Amino acid sequence: MMKDYIFIFGRDPELSALELKSYLESRKIKHELVDYSKVAALVKLPDIDFHSMIKDLGGITKIARVFEELDDERLFDIKGNKLNYGISVYDDTDIEDFRAELKERFREEKIKANLKNPGHEDDFLGPSEVIKHKLIENGFEIVVYNGAYARTIAAFNPYDYESRDKARPVQRPLQMVSIRLAKILINLSGAKPGMRLFDPFCGIGVVLQEAMLMGINSIGVDLDRDAVAASIKNTDWTRNAFQCTATCKVVHGDSTRQLNVSADAVATEPFMGPLLRKIPMENEALKIASQLKPMYDSLLKSLKHSVKGRIAIVTPRFRLYSGKRIGVDFEKLIQDNGYRKCEILPNIKFPITYLGQRAIIEREIWIIEKI
């Protein structure tokens, strides 16, 4: 039986919507995307493992199940007479009657309820607060979106990311992709358990680690021997710490040359140019872009022989004082090398800028496939 679920997006809503759609399609999960906005998506789904799902997704902060009546979710079926709860409103729905109904039920059930986000009705709890107050296990959170009321059943746990980042044997904070972006790229690539994912610029192995945790086999290549050694240490640690069964291989090599690699999908952030500590002058940005363009061109040529499916890839775009942006003209490289941009949702077009408001080097996210 299909039920309505609300997926609350993170700070990059277009990527969140695309990631969610790609994830459901790649795993052949029956679904109906009812609507989506800059805040959330309403999706009809069967009963699946939403706790595992929230761990796989990088761009979703909460998953909530829609209900018609308060008793539908058995909110008051608790041990003892105390609970913590929250109400998060993601639109302009008037919830005063709902608040009154909740308070009346608390009185009837003789429950001492502690509201964790007291204030006006457009307050909402972040996922870290839901986790911190254990609202899913020992209380409840109500999500209100598009006039629908839903109970949060899974929430992104930022403490998992933090502990994983700190425990990773080798760190390169300024030269590695974030866990969140790694997951988004993996899901946008269409990779799923049983497939083989390729990261041709694996660095210290963050994408490979996240693929392993998602049950996806992977192979990483890097031209930097120190990075290869670091990636091997990190992926070995992940395998042992989390008892991963997915395979992972890391080798030294140049991905801009044709390699003896066979993969189902690609998720990667290639070399983005030198580390810039201030906004570059236009001639400097043009020089860096012109130097990077041949690398991307050669990479696309190489991948055409080794990858069957989608390529989720990041390209740099340099922000100037004038507000002008300079990139590597990746659109032309796609066309020249026999690729096309994927259409996952009709109203969202690639590239999508990821966290580009203040960054000196902005990331453009592309999803492409061979024609």
pLDDT tens, position by position, 192-213: 999 999 999 999 999 999 999 9
Determine the Cα–Cα distance for residues 203 and 185; give it in Å rounded to an integer. 15
Statement: residue 119 has pLDDT above 70? no
Residues 78, 187, single domain; the answer is no
Contact by Cβ (8 Å): 306, 198:
yes
Q: Which of 138, 156, 174 is the last residue of a domain?
A: 156
- Evaluate if residue 120 carries a pLDDT over 80: no
Contact criterion met (CB below 8 Å) for 198 and 266: yes
Taking phi first (over 0 means left), then psi (-120 to 50 degrees means alpha), and beta for anything else, what does residue 21 get? Answer: alpha
For residues 133 and 199, state if they share a domain: no
**Amino acid letter, 152:** T
| Cα–Cα nearest to 227, from 261, 194, 254 | 254
The arithmetic mean of pLDDT across residues 137-163, rounded, is: 94
34 exposure class (CB count in 10 Å sphere: 0-12, 13-18, 19+)? middle
Token pair in block for residue 172: 């390169």
* Boundary residue ending a domain (156, 176, 194): 156
pLDDT in tens, 30-75: 999 999 999 999 999 999 999 999 999 999 999 999 999 888 888 8
* Reported pTM: 0.95
Instruction: Report pLDDT for 78.
Output: 75
CA neighbor of 123 nearest in space, from 95, 161, 100, 157 = 95
CB-based contact 303:261 (threshold 8 Å): no
The CATH code of the domain that includes 67 is 3.30.2130
Number of folded domains that form the chain: 2
Is 169 found in the same domain as 144? no
- Shared domain for 104 and 168, answered yes or no, is no
d(CA 175, CA 272): 9
The closest alpha carbon to 362, from 295, 283, 272, belongs to 272
- Can you give the pLDDT at residue 262? 94
Domain interval for residue 231? 161-370
Domain boundary among 110, 133, 156: 156
Q: Tell me what the pLDDT averaged over the chain comes to.
A: 93
CATH number at residue 178: 3.40.50.150
pLDDT at 236: 98
- Peptide bond connecting 351 to the previous residue in cis, omega within 30 degrees of 0: yes
Per-residue model confidence (pLDDT) at position 173: 81
SS3 275: coil
pLDDT value, residue 117: 80
Query: Helix-strand-coil percent breakdown of the chain, rounded to 5?
Result: 35, 25, 40
The per-residue pLDDT for 358 is 60
The percentage of the chain sitting over the pLDDT mark of 70, rounded to a whole number, equals 98
Residues 148 and 215 in one domain: no
